[in-house]
Each structure stands twice: as structure tokens, then as C-alpha cells.
Amino acid sequence: MYRNVKNVPYYIFGKGSLAQLDDLLRERRHEEGEGVVFFIDHFFYGKDLVASLPVEQGDRVIYVDATHEPTTDYMDVLAAKVREANSSPLSCMVALGGGSVMDACKAVANLMTNPGLAEDYQGWELVKNPPVYKIAVPTLAGTGSECSRTCVLSNVKKRLKLGMNSDYTVFDQVIMDPELTRSVPRDQFFYTGMDTYMHCFETLTGSYRNRIVDALAEKAVAMCEDIFLSDDMMDEVNLEKMMIASYLGGMATGYVGVVHPFSAGLSVALHMRHGIANCYALTVLEDIYPEQHAQFMRMLERQQVHLPGGICRRLSAEDYDILYEGAIVHENSLSNRLGPDFKQILSKQNVIERFKRM
């Protein structure tokens, strides 16, 4: 049995294409009283971008705090906010932001039509009812959230990072306007772009493979290398290319490898964001991914991006345990690269020493 893969049904790509959001919403505004809810990265609070959005009477703007990765608790808070503001059904939800904001929109759209709490849907195929129609407008490129079938949520109580994996989680429409990524701080542009690079090369160097995923991942990796080894990763052409690489990479969802488990450890123990955590992870995996490690170091240097050292020094023994557990729990990913005996390389001591080197 092969998976029946759901694509994002519609996308618009091009500089300035955000202007077409108004027309798309107009098609959805069927009934009076059915509003649109905008989830907007709090980074844009008070900025011109928000004033330019087609917000109408009865719509609601909700700023999403993307300082940390989305938690299940926060999704429940956001869902309550949306319910409170809208007694009648919503016609549409719009996410304007990076991976966290898009993931929040996906999770809350599911919760609007499915009872219970966010954590009830962490897993595979648990969403039962079609969610609210939703549109993604990424303002950061690299997470692939705009076209993936999951939304990554941290469950703090259960120390679990797991999405609502479901075809229902896929956006109905994506608007890819590269212009929106122009104002991203350079470091953040780099870390987020690297998310595509890493999950794609991890897939390509694993043992569980799928040739269509390979084709998409190969192209995404090649585009990332072009972008991040060029003189300026944020010139006009590269802003476009990075948005496309993210989209292709998001469609190339396969098994990951060793970067993502180490990255997950950092997110669980230190609440570090996914993109930068991936970068730290790769810096200590030179023996496991020699080529990609070397390539990554060249990219860091070429783009003059700084990764401050010493982030895992002088932690408590308990913290190191959490780091180790947060990484080693991802057995499928680790064995995808290293085989079932991955603990022969990744002993507890070995793992903790790697974290200490970061």
C-alpha cells in the first residue's frame, strides 16, 4: 500500500501576489456574518503590512506569539479566542507568518470543527471533520509548512513534539509572495532556509526512500546550495528561489535522519526554535554527514551568519538527560541514517558530548 499523497490544491506564486488575497477572500465570503480570522505573526504588529490587508467588518485579527514553537496549550488558547469572537461559522482563516504561525492556523482550523483539545489530535489520522478553509501566506521560507500535512506542536506536559498529521491539516490555498521575506533578519532567513536543506538531505541520505520524494528533495537541496553559496542569499532572485525550495521541500516529506533528533533535543530542553536548532545539530555531526557538514560551514561563512558557541555548557545533569532523551527517542529517524544499531555510535555519553560541543 502506497500513501495517497495530498497536494496543496491551489497556489499563487509571484512578487506582490499578496494583493490577490482580497479576491480569494471575496470568493469565500458567502454569507453575511461569516468572518475571516487572520493569524498574524506578532512581529508584524503595527507594521504597514497589516494595514494593507483586506480586513473587513466582522473579520478578526489575532496576533500569534511566535517567540517559541507552538504548544498544544497555546493552540487551545487561540481556539478559545477564535470561538469567542465568532458565533457563526468562519468563512476562512488566513495565516500570515512563518512556520509557527502557519502551524497554529492549521491546528486551530482543525479545532474549530473537531471537539476537544489540541493534544487529542497529536498523531496520525485523528482529525475526523473537515476543518475551516485556510490560506497560507508565508513570510519566511524554509519550513515547508505551507504545503505539508502536519503542524508541529509541543506538548509540554507529555514532553512530546508531534503534529496533527492529516490530509485535513493541508492548506487549501497558498500565496507565495517572495517580497514578504525581504524584511526578515539575515540570521533568521538563513536558519529557516536551512530547514529545507537539512530535512531534504537527511531524506536523501537515509535508507527509507521514495523516488518521487527524492526528485523533489534533490531539487530543493540544489536550490539551497545555489542560494546559500551565492554572494547574497537575500538578493531578489534568491528570495524567489528560497520560497520555491521551501515549497518543493515541503512536498518532499520523507523520513529525516540524525539532524532532526538532535534538534528536537534542543527544542525540548532549551525551547530553542527549530531552524537554528537544526543548525547547531549539524555542527556536531561532522562524522555522520561529512559532506553536508562541510557544505554547511561554507554557507555559514559565505553568508557571514554567526552561530554563537557554548549553548549547552554548564547545564545540570538533569538537563543533559533531557537533551539525550529528547534526541534518542526518535528511533525511526536515527535508524534511517545509522541502522537499527544506532546506539553503538550514539551512546549516551557520545550524545551528551556532542551537545557539549555546541
Tell me which of 117, 215, 294, 313 binds a second copy, using CB under 8 A: 215
Nearer to a second copy by Cβ, of 171 and 355: the residue is 171
Residue linked to cell 496549550: 73
Nearer to a second copy by Cβ, of 9 and 309: the residue is 9
For residues 35 and 62, what is the distance between their CA atoms, to the nearest angstrom?
13
212 part of the interface to a second copy, by CB under 8 A: yes
For residues 258 and 55, what is the distance between their CA atoms, to the nearest angstrom?
43
For residues 220 and 218, what is the distance between their CA atoms, to the nearest angstrom?
5
Tell me which of 218, 225, 286, 321 binds a second copy, using CB under 8 A: 218
CB of 13 to a second copy, least distance (A): 5
11 part of the interface to a second copy, by CB under 8 A: yes
List the grid coordinates of 124.
496520525
30 part of the interface to a second copy, by CB under 8 A: no
Q: How many CA atoms lie within 13 A of 112 on its CB side?
A: 28
Q: Taking CB under 8 A as the criterion, which residues in 246-275 touch a second copy? A: 247-248
Three-state DSSP at 188 gives helix
173 part of the interface to a second copy, by CB under 8 A: yes
CB of 256 to a second copy, least distance (A): 20
Nearer to a second copy by Cβ, of 244 and 307: the residue is 244
3 part of the interface to a second copy, by CB under 8 A: yes
Instruction: Give the closest residue to 307 by CA, choosing from 283, 274, 272, 273.
Output: 283
Contacting range for a second copy; rule: CB under 8 A; set: 5-13, 29-37, 261-269, 335-343: 5-13
Three-state DSSP at 230 gives coil
230 part of the interface to a second copy, by CB under 8 A: no
CB of 11 to a second copy, least distance (A): 5
Give the amino acid at 333. S
CB of 21 to a second copy, least distance (A): 11
For residues 272 and 263, what is the distance between their CA atoms, to the nearest angstrom?
8
**Terminal Cα distance for the chain, rounded:** 41
Q: How many CA atoms lie within 13 A of 45 on its CB side?
A: 7
Tell me which of 160, 244, 307, 345 binds a second copy, using CB under 8 A: 244
223 part of the interface to a second copy, by CB under 8 A: yes
# chain residues binding a second copy, by CB under 8 A: 34
CB of 251 to a second copy, least distance (A): 9
For residues 120 and 259, what is the distance between their CA atoms, to the nearest angstrom?
28
Phi/psi of residue 288, nearest 5 degrees: -90, -35
| Burial letters 115-145, b for 16+ CB under 10 A, else e | eeebbebbeeeebeeebbbbbbbbbbbbbbb
Which residues contact a second copy (rule: CB under 8 A)? 1-14, 17, 20, 24, 173, 176, 210-212, 215-216, 218-219, 223, 237, 240-241, 244-245, 247-248
